[in-house]
Amino acid sequence: MEGRTYGLPSNADASWVPEVDRRRLAAYTVLAAYDTNQAAALLGEDGADRREYGDPALIVDQTLTHLLGETQQIVVAGAEEADQAAQDAETLLRNWADSEHLWMRMQYAERNAVLLGDSVYLMAWSRKKGRPVLKTIDPGFYFPALPDGAIDADEYPARIHLAWETAADPATGSKGTLRRVTYELGAIGEEETATRVYPWSAQPSALTCYLTDAEWDLDQVDRTSNVDSLSLKRARFHTNADGDVLDHLDLQLDFIPVVHVPNTINGAEHFGQSSLMKAAQLIDDLGAADTDSQRASATTGSPIIGLSGARLPVDRKSGQPLPVQVEPGMVWPLGDSGQLTTVDTSTQLAELRSYVDTLRDRLSVVTRLPASVLGTMEVSQAPSGYAIQLSFGPLDAMVRSMRLARAAKYPLLLKMVLRLYQAGGVLSPGQQPQASIALGSYLPTDRAGILDLVTKGVVAGVLSLETGVRMLVDAGFPIDDAALEVARIQGRTPTAAQGGRDEDDEVDDEAA
């Protein structure tokens, strides 16, 4: 089967994949097959004629669209209140996001999270570019060494492996290899009392992050070892762009520059759950129903015909009747007692189509995506706008829960970006303001009503100007920079800001 397979080695006896991760990687492979309409291939010959019409990909794409909202924007606390340090940090982060194509990478990473249940970001300081560089890592290559007895999913691992296999190439004679990139927090140097003051903290720290990038020939990997206990005696070490050998290289950081983003809140579970997982049985049933419907439509469009008493063409050599094909305009001469009988399967086809519609309705309930979102209902058919709004209730609850699962992850990613800038000497030492990513509205909104509400609230003094502008941003108004928009509004005269007359109006009146 074409598509992605995760971590599973070709030789099970030489497996380096921990037993606890095997089920996760197998699930990733199955979910990726659903997404690419190749799940039937997992059934072997039984799935040769199985129909798959892209329902899983639709669920993933629509869930992703509503999760991320119409807009994504970096927001730094204090930037709207004219805090110069906050504004500088916000400008730096937004420029960095544009340079690193953050929003494009975020689309890819979050689609992995929705489909597979997890996504991973990796960061590093680039001396050549003079900024942190960002990569999205396939979760099938992510192997954290979780703390023993960890009962909280928020516990950050002190050692993380990124590992994958490269298949042998008979054409070039190259062997199959296993590559493992390891980030590990450990004591600074060989002395246990050694400390270091990092630019983001005034307190000395005894920790630093070490990077090791090693590669093994698969036939030399110890069969009793897993990814966390591979021996480095037979390993080959890679080098970075600066020529440093990546063997326990000190990164001069007291954190691991890797951020794991789960799709859901799973309590004590480190990994998230795919948005397709709860609907997997329904997707299978829908595929089976679509297959049966297609078979029934074939016999309805080209019905089965029984002939008796007809003079059929005969093969001159064998003397056997030739197969008869039903074509428009064909005439069969029938004898005095000849009969023509057709098998009508249109009733069964109608029942199957009704069953498919029932399954799609159930799919909408299970995935918490309204029929209007899945495209199975015309909005004009809804009894009222209020009914449509009510139908978005389950979707609203799901998106809020999914965003809550990410509430601490993206601020952590942006904090690492600022600290890498400090480590690279671009930002001055000291505590940096808190930054986050604001995700826009994902539900239909009455923009005119929100604009009227904000205007009345600001004029009456029950809403601050900053809060009002933020409400307009969330409603989808084309405001790229909330702080700049506030400054523009405050730069006008009070009467002009409230829709009154300004001095230019009075000059125009006198000229008239």
Whole-number average pLDDT of the chain = 84
462: in domain: yes
> Tokens 């008979």 map to which residue?
170
Residue (of 459, 439, 438, 452) closest to 79 by Cα position: 438
412: in domain: no
CB 282, CB 359: distance < 8 Å? yes
- Mean per-residue pLDDT for 275-297? 88
Secondary structure class of 120 (helix, strand, coil): strand
User: What is the structure's pLDDT at 415?
Assistant: 97
466: in domain: yes
- Mean per-residue pLDDT for 258-274? 90
pLDDT higher than 90, residue 51: no
Provide long-range contacts, Cβ within 8 A and 24+ apart, for 221-225. 221/14, 221/16, 221/178, 223/13, 223/14, 223/15, 225/16
Q: Domain residues for 461?
A: 445-512
Q: Which of 151-165, 250-264, 359-373, 402-416 has the lowest mean pLDDT?
A: 151-165
Query: Token digits for 54?
Result: 């892209």
CA distances from 77 to 54, 417, 437 (A): 42, 16, 11
- Mean per-residue pLDDT for 38-49? 80
For helices 346-367 and 280-301, angle between their N-to-C axes, nearest 10 degrees: 160
Q: How confident is the model at residue 306 (pLDDT cuts 50, 70, 90)?
A: confident
At 328-382, the pLDDT tens digits run 667 777 777 777 777 777 777 788 888 888 999 999 999 999 887 887 666 666 6
486: in domain: yes
Q: How confident is the model at residue 506 (pLDDT cuts 50, 70, 90)?
A: very low
For 424, residues 6+ apart whose C-beta sits below 8 A from its C-beta are 125, 127, 130, 131, 132
At 112-127, the pLDDT tens digits run 999 999 999 999 999 9
Q: How confident is the model at residue 465 (pLDDT cuts 50, 70, 90)?
A: confident
For 219, residues 6+ apart whose C-beta sits below 8 A from its C-beta are 14, 175, 176
Q: How confident is the model at residue 4 (pLDDT cuts 50, 70, 90)?
A: low
For 23, residues 6+ apart whose C-beta sits below 8 A from its C-beta are none
At 56-82, the pLDDT tens digits run 999 999 999 999 998 899 999 988 787
453: in domain: yes
Q: What pTM, to 2 d.p., does this model score?
A: 0.80
Query: Angle CA(251)–CA(257)–CA(260) in degrees, nearest 5?
Result: 155
HSE-CB at 109 with a 13 A cutoff on CA atoms is 22
Write out 29-98 in H/E/C secondary structure. Answer: HHHHHHHCCCHHHHHHHHHCCCCCCCHHHHHHHHHHHHHHCCCEEEEECCHHHCCHHHHHHHHHHHHHHH
User: What is the structure's pLDDT at 451?
Assistant: 82
User: What is the structure's pLDDT at 505?
Assistant: 45
pLDDT higher than 70, residue 437: yes
Work out how many domains the chain is built from and give that number: 1
pLDDT higher than 70, residue 500: no
Query: Exposed (0-12), middle (13-18) or buried (19+): which is 182, by Cβ within 10 Å?
Result: buried
pLDDT higher than 80, residue 426: yes
357: in domain: no
CA distances from 458 to 138, 184, 461, 484 (A): 46, 51, 5, 17
223: in domain: no
Residue 115 phi, psi dihedral angles, 5° rounding: -75, -50
Which of 2-6, 105-109, 143-147, 356-360 is modeled with the greatest confidence?
Answer: 105-109
- Mean per-residue pLDDT for 84-107? 95
Q: How far apart are CA 353 and CA 409, in angstroms?
A: 44
Residue 137 phi, psi dihedral angles, 5° rounding: -110, 135
Q: How far apart are CA 306 and CA 271, in angstroms?
A: 59
Which of 46-50, 150-154, 291-295, 437-441 is modeled with the greatest confidence?
Answer: 437-441
The kind and range of the H/E element at 123 are: strand 118-126
Q: How confident is the model at residue 11 (pLDDT cuts 50, 70, 90)?
A: very low
DSSP state at residue 457: H
Residue 329 phi, psi dihedral angles, 5° rounding: 80, 0
Residue 426 phi, psi dihedral angles, 5° rounding: -80, -40
User: What is the structure's pLDDT at 124?
Assistant: 95
User: What is the structure's pLDDT at 477?
Assistant: 78
Q: How confident is the model at residue 257 (pLDDT cuts 50, 70, 90)?
A: very high
158: in domain: no
User: What is the structure's pLDDT at 381?
Assistant: 64
